[in-house]
Amino acid sequence: MKVTAYKTPLIKAKDDLFQVIADAIPYLPERSIVVVTSKIVSTCENMFVKKVTGERSEKHDLVRKEAEYYIEPHSSKYDLMLTIHRNWMFVNAGLDESNADNQYILWPKDPQHSANEIWKFLRSHYNVKEVGVTLSDSISIPLNWGVMGHAIAYCGFHPLKSYIGKPDLFGRLMKMEQVNLMQSVTAAAVLEMGEGNESTPLAVVRDVKDISFQDSPPSAEELAALKISIEDDAYAPILTKAEWKKGGKAS
């Protein structure tokens, strides 16, 4: 697998995202996956909220509006809010302050729609048939310091590789194992793109093993197949005991 990160000028609110991509990536080979940090999608969509007081309570109120479910910040020694948003569990519902010029920056309006539209643009602009897209964000791992990249949306390829029913080295048939390709590819790309002031919010990933490309955006059924309910999750003993409250984006 080969990852190439691409530098861009400082992206401003309401910039043309497609033009940003076209200017940064001169050539896109077939069977590539383009990873786009969700923050530049949000920036082009002008998903900013101006700080008024800049106090923690102001940020917490905004998180409550953006989350589907949240846990109050007093539960965290770091005064952070654990949240669930679009079936992802992470801190502060994707709300960020880094590289936001004294503002709060939210997630894209509709990450999956954005991924689909970027995929269509790539196929047309670069004249490629087999191409994938992921939108990246940062996420932490329980019981580990540090963050890593993860995908919040994808398009153009099958995101899972199943080993279910296949034998291991000793002939035992695997029962649950699946590799999450979209997360693995995105994590590798974000490592190359960086998390600070590198100004490389785009990456092209090539020569990925076992990728099966698609000729259309993922269906509702395919997107649903990626998600696990709290009750069915391996971490259900913890998740079901948490004091979740409904946020502004709860259905």
Residue-range domains of the chain with CATH: 1-46+109-218 (3.30.1330.100), 48-106+228-251 (no CATH)
- The model carries a pTM of 0.94
Q: For a pLDDT cut of 90, what percent of the chain falls above it?
A: 86
The per-residue pLDDT for range 104-125, each reduced to its tens digit, is 999 999 999 999 999 999 999 9
How confident is residue 96, by pLDDT bands cut at 50, 70 and 90? confident
Nearest to 191 by CA among 145, 144, 136, 133: 136
Stretch 216-241: mean pLDDT: 94
The per-residue pLDDT for range 43-57, each reduced to its tens digit, is 999 999 999 988 999
What's the pLDDT score for residue 250? Answer: 87
